Amino acid sequence: MSQITQQITQQVAQQMTLSEKVQRGEIFATECPSREILQHVTSRWGVLVMVALLNGTHRFSELRRKIGQVSEKMLAQTLQQLEHDGFVLRVSYPVVPPHVEYSLTSSGEEVGKRLVALTDWIETHLPQIMLAQQK
């Protein structure tokens, strides 16, 4: 590669955003950001939040009631991560007392559908899995 070509390539690379540089994630690569995103949606509460929201918009208190045992702190942290990844939309209404609603974005719906396929399978095959555990 000539020096000029190298310079141009570097300049173009510098102007590219991070997302333009990443063509496709690789879940097995330790440094790939896809691993962290996967962990957000498959975390203990992440899965349940996504599955709950696939059924429609929820207020914070509704989510907390639906997802038993989750603490206020953990639910807030889970929602923040999912909002940051662009999967959850948080809408705050300027009223007293505060009214905040959470729903899935279009990419959140895509992820949510895949998670439901997994949880549905586990739910419907639970007897079979428990039989295997007894062996």
Q: If residue 122 lies in a helix (H) or strand (E), which one and from where to where?
A: helix 106-124
Residue 52: count other Cβ atoms within 10 Å of its Cβ.
Answer: 18
Choose between 101 and 109: whose C-beta lies nearer to its own copies. 109
> CB 10 → its own copies: shortest distance, Å?
21
* CB contact at 8 A, 75 and 62: no
Distance of closest approach, residue 126 Cβ to its own copies, in angstroms: 4
C-alpha 44 chain-centroid distance: 12
Q: Nearer to its own copies by C-beta: 32 or 74?
A: 32
∠ Cα 45 47 53 (to 5°)? 100
Least spacing, CB of residue 109 vs its own copies, in Å? 11
Question: Which residues are 90's β-sheet partners?
Answer: 102
**CB-nearer residue toward its own copies: 35 or 101:** 35
Structure tokens at 112: 């949510």
The residues binding its own copies (CB under 8 A) are 17-20, 22-30, 32-34, 37-39, 41-44, 47-48, 51-52, 66-69, 84-86, 107, 110-111, 114-115, 117-119, 121-135
Structure tokens at 133: 């555990």
The DSSP call for residue 102 is E
Name the minimum Å distance from CB 11 to its own copies. 21
Looking at the Cβ atoms of 6 and 121, the one nearer to its own copies is 121
